[in-house]
Every structure is written in structure tokens, then in C-alpha cells.
Structure 1
Amino acid sequence: MTVGVRVLGELEVVRDGLLVTPSQPKVRQLLALLAVNWNKVVRTEQLRTELWGDSPPPKASTTLQVYVSNIRRMLAGEPRSASGTVVHRPRVGYALNLPEHTLDIARFAELARSGRAELDAGRLEEASSAFRGALEEWRGGPLCDLDPGEVLAPHVARLRQERAAVLEQRIEVDLVLGRHLDLIGELRELVQEYPTHEGLHAKLMLALHRSGMRSEALSVFQRLRTDLIDQLGLEPSASTRRLHQDLLDGEVNQDQPAGTTSIRRAKSWWHPPAQLLPDPAEVIGRDTEAERISGELREVSKLAVVTVAGGPGVGTSTLCAHVANQVRESFPDGQVYADLLAHESPGEVLAGFLRAIRGPDCWLPASEQERADLFRSWTARRRMLVVLDNVTAAEQLALLLPGGEGSAVLAGCRRRIAGPNGLPVTLRPLSATDSLRLLEAMIGAQVEREPDAAVELAELCGGLPAALIGAATRLALRPHWSISRVVHRLRAPGDRLGELSAGRLDLLASVERTSSLLDGDQADAFQRFAGLFGTAVSVPEFARACLIGERAAESRLEQLVELQLVDVEENRPQPGTGYFTYRMHPLVRLAALAIGERHQESLRATIR
């Protein structure tokens, strides 16, 4: 369940995408006061004063508790989880206890802080983007559909002032960035809304002057002076008069607008990050998949998300690295890469992305969600490629998505991940022909000398590129060995995995990393499959072996399929039962048996 509370405009409460805003005036007023003080205790006396002023009803405390209960139920949607949303501090008051990203006022405050931090560091593009993001949280005047009492009213006034300050800072930054033509229309509207605001008038004068409209800029000063005298009996300030005189003399500073002398550009740091892994020289047997992925990633009208899933050793990482290098020119604002196994959390990955984009000393929000919001904000108007490896959950992927149309995500996944708008691609082991092509590409002369042994070697590797490359690498490092010698050593199942490993290409380690994602029942199913069934198994057979029902057996087998540890033998169910038949790759089975034996040895050592 997701919930959101909005106060920067009309009061709104959204739960699971639906508006559930309360209609009772006092409940709305109470919720608003708690929201503008989110995660802070509001004293009971203040709540009573806001709701009833100096004339509370005889049972004010009981009525207040009823209002709080209504808010809890509205936010939680069900009684069991309601108590955590509005926390009661006995003899003190109440606090609205919601994550910051669910309140627009909290998001506004965080983006405004981010903008000021970027401004202090001289990163003007990023400061402008953050300020714009903060202002986009506003839908109108704060709590414009409420009649605030004496406690809430100062908060409403404060929010108006905070918005005005952020707006003025954003305009100042945009003027320094040379966006004067874009600002003229906005500033004309603002000076009509605030006819005596000298800062806004000064910025309009400067924008008009820079756009070649000097006479209009001078007219803005005359209208401001007339309004100040008529409404307040005051002359414009010395700084505004000085700007007017500079306009008359033609001596306006073109680099800095009036009132922005503290704004400075950072020393040039940013250049598009280029973090892609090297392009593999040749990727064999994946032409169809590579063409599909490339076409999707180059789609400029949307955020393209491609998930590539495959079993251990099937070459998911290699294909992603190859395709990413093929399409990198389509993403002029940079390409970032992260192996999620090398990071503790998506928040750590986001920190790396933001530093690559904005400099090693950039300010970073504390929370994971805030970093994700900042990453999306920065990428909203850019074309960037994000390449991820070893993704294990849809929740990880969701936090790492960029924000702009024309950007793309290419994710190598250890399990199948379904998304509403993504393109899922599943890799299978190579065919016998492509397996031989891969061996020929690495040890062509030896394959020509021993074609029959090469065919058997390809069969023993089961079409897994990691195994084929491991065997070919061993032969390349030991040119005095024949393919027949390697085949003879591979015929012993107990030695096969060790013979096929080469450096980082370790099939056993890859299977172990994937199997670590299994829960207790799934791990038991994985071990039972490997230990009891050499080839294929039906659901009824597996149910009998595990002493569980057929539905439960099917569920566990399908979970192993999602993690690419087991394959469906045919894409049609068996006649009569409606169940599918499942098969485990021989090399994955050997790895599973080795993992099980390690576990047993660990248990025996613990018992001793």
C-alpha cells in the first residue's frame, strides 16, 4: 500500500492511487497541522487551539481522539496497521509518522536544500534543476481550500515565503545561465501578481535588456516606481535605482544580474561519464537478441528498459556489455555502469552514479529514495544509458531508473523480472553449431586438427559460453595439451567444473550466487532436484520425492525457473495433468551437488 499527503495546494490524501481526502472540516484542519509538522510532535494544546480557539467543547479531548482515529484509518486503509501513521505521545501530543517521500512538503524541502547545496558549490545547472523540481511540487497556494486557525496560519505564511524564496533563487540562477528569453513571460506574470516586489522587477528589467528590449526594461522601472509611491509612499531602493541608471548608461553587467553577486559557476568538472565495460571482441550466437535489444534502447520517445535474464554461465553480462557499447553513441549525456553484487544497496549504487555525474565532492541526500529522486531529476532532460548487472529484484531496478524520455536501462538479471513497459529478453544455451563457432574463434587451429574431440567438448559444455570459454582458455594457456586430453578429463563429472573454470569465469561460483537468493523451501527443492533426478522430472514425481502436494511442488519448480536454475523442457503442458516437465542443465546440477556437499561438510564440522 502506498500513501501520500499533499499540502502544497489543496489538501489531498492519496492511497494506492485513489483520493481519500477527508471531507469533515475539523479532520482536514487537524491533518493539515500534523502534515506541516511531519514527524514532529504537535502538542495537544496547540491542536485544541487550532480546532476550537479559546472555546473548546466540553469533551474536546475525546473528540480529538476520534478525529485522530479517523485520520489513522484513512491513511492506513485497514485497522491493523492504523496505529503507526499517527503516533500519540501521552500527555504531550500527536505526530504524523510517514516516510518523507510520501509528503509533498518534505520533497519540496529536500529539493530546495539540494538546490542551495548545488548553488553553494557553483553547479548552476544542477541547482536550477533542483529548484525546478521543488517548485513542481506546488499545485497552488498552500492549503488553499482550508480556513487555517491561529496555529496553522503561520505555517501557511511560512510556506508561501519559502516558495517565493526558492522561485527567486531559481530565476537568479537561470539569469546567470543566460536563459533570459525563457524567463520574460514568467517574470511578466510575477510582477503583475506582486506589483511592489522590487527583486522580481529588477530581474524582469535585466531579462528584457539582455533580450534587446531596453525601452521595455525602462518602462518596467517606471511602473514599479509609480506603484511603490501610490501604494507605499516609497521610492525604489538604491540597488533598483542603480540598475535603472545602468540601463540608461548602457553599462549593465552582462554576467551577473542585480542581487546575484554570490552566485558563481563551479570550476568545470562535469563531462559525460563513460563507465561501460570494454566491448567483447565477438559475441557469437546472439545476433537476434542483440538486434532486438539495440532497437529498443535506441527508441527516443520513451524511457526504454530492457531486462536480460539467463541461467548461470549463459553470457548475460557479456551480451549486455556488447550491446551497450554498440549503442553508446545514442546517449550523448553519458553511460553509467554498476554490478549490484559489488554494492550493498541501490542507495550505494546511486551515490556512485551521482558522483560520476556531478563530481566527487557533490552533496548527496541521506536516504535511498531521495538519491533516486535526485538521480531522476538530473536525468529528466538528458539522454543517459544505465547498464546494470546481477539485478535480483524489481525493487532494485525501480530505484535506479533515470528520469527522461530517450534515456535507457539495460539490466542483466539473475532472475526473470517483469515490468509494465520493459522488454524482457531470455538467453538460452548456445546451439551445437554456435558452440563450435565459439571454440573456433578462440582455438581455431586445434579445432581443425581435432574436429571430433571439439564436438564432444562442445557437448560436455552444454552450450554455456562460460564453460566453453573456460575450456578454450585452458587450451590456449597450455598449447601442448590436446582437445582430447581436456575431453578425457571432463568425462569425470566430479572434476568437470574445476576443469571449466578460468579466472572470473567460475560456473560453480555463479550458481552459488544465484542459489543464495533461495529461501529454505526453494533451496531444499533445488538440492532434491539435483540429487534425485538426473534429467527431467514431472510435477507428480517431484511432489512424491519431496512429500508435498502437487500444487506446492509446481510452485517451487516455477520459482527455480524464475531464477534460471531450472528450465521448462517444453512450452506445452503434459496431456491430462496440465503440468509442465522441468529439466536442470547438467553443469548446474553438478554445481548444485557441490554446493550441497559443502553445506553437509559445514554441518558435520559444526556437530564435531
Structure 2
Amino acid sequence: MRFQVLGNFEVLGDSRVRTPSAPKLRRTLALLILRHNETVPTKALIDELWGSSPPDKAIRAVHTYIYELRRSLARPGCGGELFLETRPSGYTVCVPESAIDLNSFRALVKEGREVLAAGDPGHAREVLNRALGMWQGGALANVDCGELLEAHATELEERRLRALEMRVEADFQLGRHHELNGELKALAAARPLHEGIHAKLMLALYRSGRRGEALKVFHDLRRHLVDELGLEPGPELQRLQRSMLAGDPSLDPPAVAKPPPPRRAQPPAPPAQLPRDTVDFTGRQAVLDEIAGLLAAHGATTGLPVVALVGMPGVGKTATAVHFAHAVRVRYPDGQLYVPLGGSQPTPATAAEAMEHILRGIGVAPRDIPTTLGGRMALFRTWSSDRRVLVMLDDADSPQQVEPLLPGGPGCAVLITARSLLYGLRGARTVALGCLSAAEGGQLLTRLIGRERTDAEPEAVADVVRLADGLPLAITFLGERLMALRPVSIACVLAKIRSAKGQHRLSELSALGLDLYDRLDSCFRKLDENTQEAFLRLALIPHRLFTAGQGARALGTDITTADVVLMRLVDASLVEVAEQRAAGGRRYRFREPVREYALEKMAVTRTAPSVRHFMGF
């Protein structure tokens, strides 16, 4: 969805206008959009909607408005809560910066200001005209603004006026004073007390050989100021009048300098956007070799090698991909691009937004980026057709998001990380990333806390790895706790952690730096309702390894259906295939942190009797 505030407030999505028609819904959403990605307190919404005289049930009314907005703006397959999140003290609208026209306006104005200061008024005028062209009327023109929105609208109009003043200054530097007269007269009429606009009108008229009209503008403004405010014009305006009366040559139009001869453009440096590699990276040699082999297998073909690294949250997909990318970067001398796709976030990046990120990374100026996704794809594929570039697409959401981002040259390579299998992505090869082995987990802990401590307590080290169930994120979290309590033995710290683990829910550990609950929750939310239900029931199976038959009993269905559901959860990286038997049967397992998440999720969505019922299968 896209949101417009520079003129009528509009919500655009799915090729249609989705702006709320109810005035209070429109006001509520407008305030949330103007303060996007930050928490808007419920009290602020009440103040905007009712001012100093809210009704007795104002909070309930706000809750109703939020519900209606979520219902009307929810994307297919996603709840509106992914777009409009509830916070302890209010609500947050989560949208990309590029989804709101105000942010594009700000970026263009900033670019225009910098270009003007650098002495290029022609380019500045072009950029600022593009910014001003985004306005379709007064700010929030179709919103009945309360006190807070009125302040926002006033601030937006001030930004518009400042951008216009900069563009007028660019016109003056280009000697376009003749063309400014009509525009400045209209502005002066709309703002009869604005001295800055009147000063520019006087100067434009004077430089056009119309000194008498310029001086009349001064006298008319002086009369307005004296009659309405009892004030004389400011010192700058009075100096300008005296200079005009004296025919000061400093007011004459500046000579328009000839543009300097074009300098030979230096080729831009190849993009090198990879995040830093981690010094604690451990193991994964078999996975690294598999990725290298898949990329090398395309060497003799004209196809584009695409490898997707798939695994559960916290298993180290990004760290592994970054480590591999650094190891092979010399093979891609034309650049390494890193694109965060936000697949685990409430609002993933669109393909158009990601493509804009790529084009900026390869040096395309913002003004030269095509407005359509097709145009952006064509530009990138043309640029990459004869180059060797490594593209890392991190945290992918879907094949539809990834497909448009693929480069055009066979000398390129694409490395994707995702939590779910990307079915339908043509030509992609999937590499599954599992948890660390006991040995690798011990090596990671050794790198984190030092060999002296791990050699002194090998059994405690093994217990730490078992407690984390081989999950790198959890091992790192536990290692950081051990480092913070360095004088204490590993066994003692482990006992404290186990005690705390029994007292605190997984979600509460995010305050200490373990955000595993939120990561798993994003995977859970992407499941359909029936699969969510099945996931929670399956987590109650009291065995570490279980078969489709045991899963069928937990779900109350047949083995074939249970197998299908389980494979769907495997695809989502929430369940693992532990072993494949020769007879064709599979055994599945939950990693312990995933099981803890499921049980906690069930505790807040189920009543105790229903939990006991499921445990009795």
C-alpha cells in the first residue's frame, strides 16, 4: 500500500483507492501514518479526535476504529495487525519509508538543497520541481484536522514553502527573473504579510526593468503591516528598498556562468555491500562446500546460478551466507550486492523497493531510477548482463519477491536466505541449514568464552550445547551470559540459567538479548490457521522423535494427512526430518526452543482443560 498526505489524504493499494470514508477513521489513520514506525499513544489519538472533551467511552471507540482500519486495510492472507500493531501504550503503523509520499518529497528536497549549495542551480531546479510536483493541493486537504493534525499540516506547508523558496533561488541564479514575476505575485497575494516572498518579488521585478512596480510592492506591504500589525517592514526589506532607489548595481542580475566543460567521468567503484563477517563463525564446512559446488556447476552453462539457504530462525543462515560470500568475493570483481528483504518482518520489502535499493547500490542516481518495476528490472539486467556480480538476498519472503531481483548475466551468482522453501523459483537450488553438531556447538562456545574455561569443564560445555539444542543463536546468547559472569564456573552459571529458564517465558528473554520468540512468531504467523493449530498440537507429543502415525493421533486424522501437514511445517523450518528410514517412513522432531515457543503460544491461546485434553492422546 501507498499513502499520500501531500494534498488529499489517500490510501492506494491493489490498483484501487482504499482511503477510509468515515471522517474519524480517516483522521486516526492520517495521524498514525504521519508518525509511522513510532508508537502513537492512545491518549494522542483521543486528543486528536475529541480535543479537550472526549466521551466517556473514548478508549473503547479508539479500539473500534483500530479494528475497523485493520479489517479494511488487511492484505490478502495477512492480518491487519501486521500493518497496524498494538503497543503497550498505543499503536504503531509499520510501513516502509518509501510507501509515504512525504518521505520521497523530503528526500528530493534534501537532494535539491545539497545540489544548490554545490553550485549547480540547473540540477537543483529540476530536482526541486519534481519535489513540488508531488503536491496535489493543501496538506491533508480532505481531512477534518484536530489540533495535532493541524500542527502536522502546518509543518508540511512550511516544508513546501521552503522548497519553493529554494527553487526560486535556483531560478534567480539561472537568470530566470522574468519567468518568476507571475508566480511570485500569486504567492505574495496568498501571503500578504510574508516579507521574504515580497522581497523576492521586488527583486524579480527590478531585474526585469520594472523598478516602479518593485517599489510599489514595498509600499503595499508596508501599508498592510502598519494597518494590521502596527509594524514597519524589517531591516532587510528596507535596505532592499533603499538600494533600489539608489540604483545599487549589486541588485543587477548576475552573469550566468557558462557551464564548465564536462569532465571525464570516473567509473564508480564496484559496490561492496556485504555485512562484516563474524570472527566467531564456526563449522558449516559441509554446507559451504555444497553451496560452492552448486555455484560451480553452472560454470559451463548460460544459466544464472541461484542457491537458497533455508533454515529455522536463529540457525545462522545470514552468518553462513555472509561468511561464504566473503570467501568467494574475489570471483565477483564487479561487485557484491546485499539486499535485506525483510521476509520475517510484518511488512516485507516489495520487489520494487528492493530493486530501488539495488539500483542505488550500483550508482544509479535517484532521478534516473524508473518508476515501474519493469523498468527497474530492465535497467538492472542490462547493467549486469556482462558483469560478474554476487547478489545476496537476505531474509526472502516469497518467490514473487525474489524473481524480479535476479541479475541478467550468467557470470553473476545469487545467494538467498529464507526461513521457508521458495517453491516456484525457477532454477534455484536449495541447501538446508540445520543446527550445529555437539562438536561444532562446543567449538562455538570455546570461541566465545575461551579455551581455558571450556577445557576445564568439558561436561558443562556439553550441557550448554544440549540446553541450546545446537541452535547457534541460543549458544551465542548463553556464551554472552557466561562471559558476563566470567569468575563463576560454567556449571554454576548453567544451573542459574536453568533455574531462570523455568521461571521466565521464552518471550521474556528478548529483554536480555535473545529475540528467538519474535523470530519464531514471524514464522508462525505466516502459516494458515489450520497449520497453526496442527503445529501447536504436535508440540505436545512427549517424544523427542516422533512418526507421522504419532502425529496423526495428536491431530485426530489419518497418517497421510499428518505426513502432509508435517512436511508443510518442515518447509516452514518449524519441524525437522530427523531421519529417513529405508522402508520410507520418516521420523520428525521439534528443536527444543521451537517446542518451548509452541507451548508458550498455546498457553496464551488455549484454556488449561483443552491443553490437558490434547496431552491425553
TM-score (norm 1): 0.51
Whether 1:272 and 2:278 are equivalent positions in the alignment is no
Cα distance, 1:598–1:283 mapped onto 2, change above 3 Å: same
- Cα distance in 2 for partners of 1:326, 1:504 equals 29
Alignment of 1:105-144 (within 5 A): none
Whether 1:395 and 2:400 are equivalent positions in the alignment is yes
- Cα distance in 2 for partners of 1:374, 1:596 equals 48
Aligned-pair CA distance for 1:587: 1.3
Whether 1:293 and 2:291 are equivalent positions in the alignment is yes
Amino acid at match of 2:593: L
Q: Secondary structure at the match of 1:491?
A: helix
Amino acid at match of 1:541: Q
Partner of 1:519: 528
Partner of 2:588: 582
Partner of 1:348: 353
- Cα distance in 1 for partners of 2:552, 2:293 equals 43
- Cα distance in 2 for partners of 1:428, 1:522 equals 22
Aligned-pair CA distance for 1:568: 1.4
Q: Note the aligned Cα RMSD (angstroms).
A: 3.0
Amino acid at match of 2:491: S
Cα pair 1:490 1:499 within 8 Å, conserved: no
Alignment of 1:72-471 (within 5 A): 268=266, 270-297=268-295, 300-301=299-300, 302-341=303-342, 343-417=348-422, 419-444=425-450, 445-471=452-478
CA deviation digits over 1:418-441, x for unaligned, max 9? 555333211121111111111111
Cα distance, 1:504–1:333 mapped onto 2, change above 3 Å: farther
- Cα distance in 2 for partners of 1:465, 1:502 equals 18
- Cα distance in 2 for partners of 1:339, 1:401 equals 14
- Cα distance in 1 for partners of 2:551, 2:291 equals 36
Partner of 1:571: 580
Aligned-pair CA distance for 1:555: 1.4
Aligned-pair CA distance for 1:352: 0.5
Cα distance, 1:541–1:289 mapped onto 2, change above 3 Å: closer
- Cα distance in 1 for partners of 2:279, 2:511 equals 18
Aligned-pair CA distance for 1:393: 2.0
Amino acid at match of 2:536: Q
Alignment of 1:485-500 (within 5 A): 485-492=492-499, 493-494=501-502, 495=504, 497=506
TM-score (norm 2): 0.51
Cα distance, 1:269–1:497 mapped onto 2, change above 3 Å: farther
- Cα distance in 2 for partners of 1:305, 1:480 equals 47
Amino acid at match of 2:414: V
Give unpaired runs (5+ residues) of structure 1. Answer: 1-119, 122-260, 602-608
Partner of 1:542: 551
Cα pair 1:530 1:593 within 8 Å, conserved: yes
- Cα distance in 1 for partners of 2:497, 2:581 equals 34
Give unpaired runs (5+ residues) of structure 2. Answer: 1-121, 124-258, 608-617
Partner of 1:179: none
Amino acid at match of 2:422: I
- Cα distance in 1 for partners of 2:341, 2:426 equals 22
Amino acid at match of 2:330: E
CA deviation digits over 1:469-492, x for unaligned, max 9? 110011112323431233213435
Identity across the alignment (%) = 34
- Cα distance in 2 for partners of 1:414, 1:324 equals 19
- Cα distance in 1 for partners of 2:488, 2:596 equals 25
Aligned-pair CA distance for 1:533: 4.0
Cα pair 1:489 1:499 within 8 Å, conserved: no
Cα pair 2:335 2:388 within 8 Å, conserved: yes
CA deviation digits over 1:73-127, x for unaligned, max 9? xxxxxxxxxxxxxxxxxxxxxxxxxxxxxxxxxxxxxxxxxxxxxxx99xxxxxx
Q: Secondary structure at the match of 2:540?
A: helix
Cα distance, 1:291–1:504 mapped onto 2, change above 3 Å: farther
Cα pair 2:509 2:515 within 8 Å, conserved: yes
Amino acid at match of 2:311: G
Cα distance, 1:490–1:344 mapped onto 2, change above 3 Å: same
Cα distance, 1:503–1:376 mapped onto 2, change above 3 Å: farther
- Cα distance in 1 for partners of 2:405, 2:513 equals 26
Cα pair 2:395 2:418 within 8 Å, conserved: yes
Cα pair 2:394 2:416 within 8 Å, conserved: yes
Give the number of aligned pairs: 340
Aligned-pair CA distance for 1:501: 6.0
Cα distance, 1:265–1:565 mapped onto 2, change above 3 Å: farther
